[in-house]
Amino acid sequence: MDESQLLSAAAGSNADGRSSSRLAPLIIVGDGGHGRVVADNVRALESFRIIAVADDRFTNIACRDGVFHVHPGMVRELVEADHNTKVLIAIGDNRIRSSMVQRLGLPPERYASIVHPAACVSKHAYIGPGSVVMAGAVVNHGACIGAHVIINSGAVVEHDAEVGWFAHISPNSTLAGNVAAGEGAHIGIGASVIPSVRIGAWCVVGAGAAVIRDLPAGATAVGVPAKVIKQRDIIP
């Protein structure tokens, strides 16, 4: 498998030059567990065709089941080969996801946003570029989800809540109305945040925690009610 075949696929043709599916071409960056879950979400949506998966582990171009496996260093070239090609960074770690966005240097419009058909998202909510809303999640009226955010399976983001860039709202966690979760915040599995609480940038809220008061940027909080057990530099 060579680069010319890959670029042909990115431009909307099969290896023999024939036109391929009319579904929008998509490159997924990240081939870990989270990346594979995101790929399943993409296939359920039936709006995109995955033409390539990029990961630092892939040093040579390969094709498996019709999908190219490439190094992230090739992503810009693939995107430039077809203006319809979109990218989705499927890396669960918030800091690494943020770093990859900087590394790729793509404009926001080149990123896809994915909402699983089994998610419930208000038409009055906003989902930013590069974000994923997984099966069973709920995003209610007036909620604003920033770029490159993960709203994981069964998570609830209530009315007028705000979720900053690169945040991760884990499975079955709940942000009540008017909550603000800052950039890079990680809300652990099954955690709850009561109405109007502010979660600072790059905070970590432990699994099952109940947050009843504001948390400063860079804090790690656990328990019921949640208490800060660590404070760290917020530089991602």
Q: Could you tell me if 118 and 42 lie in one domain?
A: no
Q: Which of 71, 159, 168, 186 is catalytic?
A: 159
Q: Could you tell me if 42 and 124 lie in one domain?
A: no
Report the C-alpha gap between 20 and 40 in whole angstroms. 20
Q: Could you tell me if 189 and 128 lie in one domain?
A: yes
Residue 55, pLDDT above cutoff 60: yes
Boundary residue ending a domain (110, 133, 166): 110
Of 76, 78, 52, nearest in space to 64 by CA: 52
Structural domain includes residue 233: no
Q: From its phi and psi, is residue 206 left (phi > 0), alpha (psi between -120 and 50) or beta?
A: beta
Question: First and final CA of the chain: distance in angstroms?
Answer: 37
Q: Could you tell me if 155 and 216 lie in one domain?
A: yes
Supply the CATH number for residue 70's domain. Answer: 3.40.50.20
- Going by pLDDT thresholds of 50, 70 and 90, the confidence category of residue 22 is confident
Q: How many domains does the chain have?
A: 2
- Going by pLDDT thresholds of 50, 70 and 90, the confidence category of residue 236 is low
Q: Could you tell me if 105 and 197 lie in one domain?
A: no
Structural domain includes residue 234: no
Residue 16, pLDDT above cutoff 50: no
Contacts of 123-127 spanning 24+ positions with Cβ under 8 A: 125/157
Report the C-alpha gap between 67 and 51 in whole angstroms. 5
Supply the CATH number for residue 124's domain. Answer: 2.160.10.10
Q: Find out whether 182 and 163 touch, Cβ atoms under 8 Å.
A: no
Q: Which helix (H) or strand (E) holds 104?
A: helix 94-104
Report the C-alpha gap between 171 and 152 in whole angstroms. 5
Report the C-alpha gap between 148 and 157 in whole angstroms. 16
Q: For position 64, what pLDDT does the model report?
A: 86
Q: For position 12, what pLDDT does the model report?
A: 55
Instruction: Write the burial class of residue 225 (CB in 10 Å: 0-12 exposed, 13-18 middle, 19+ buried).
Output: exposed
Percent of the chain topping pLDDT 90: 82
Q: For position 42, what pLDDT does the model report?
A: 95
Q: Could you tell me if 180 and 104 lie in one domain?
A: no
Q: Could you tell me if 126 and 168 lie in one domain?
A: yes
Q: Could you tell me if 55 and 150 lie in one domain?
A: no
Average the pLDDT over each of 5-14, 39-48, 55-64, 186-195 and give the range with the smallest value. Answer: 5-14
Q: Could you tell me if 164 and 77 lie in one domain?
A: no
Q: Could you tell me if 78 and 121 lie in one domain?
A: no
Q: For position 15, what pLDDT does the model report?
A: 42
Percent of the chain topping pLDDT 70: 90
Domain span at residue 63? Answer: 3-110
Report the C-alpha gap between 6 and 221 in whole angstroms. 46
Instruction: Summarize the confidence of residues 211-217 as an average pLDDT.
Output: 97
Q: Could you tell me if 156 and 199 lie in one domain?
A: yes
Instruction: Summarize the confidence of residues 132-144 as an average pLDDT.
Output: 98
Report the C-alpha gap between 159 and 177 in whole angstroms. 5
Does the annotation mark 34 as catalytic?
Answer: no
Structural domain includes residue 229: no
Q: Which position has the higher pLDDT, 90 or 46? A: 90
Cα separations (Å) of 33 from 36, 42, 171?
5, 14, 14
Of 198, 196, 232, 193, nearest in space to 209 by CA: 193
Q: From its phi and psi, is residue 223 left (phi > 0), alpha (psi between -120 and 50) or beta?
A: left
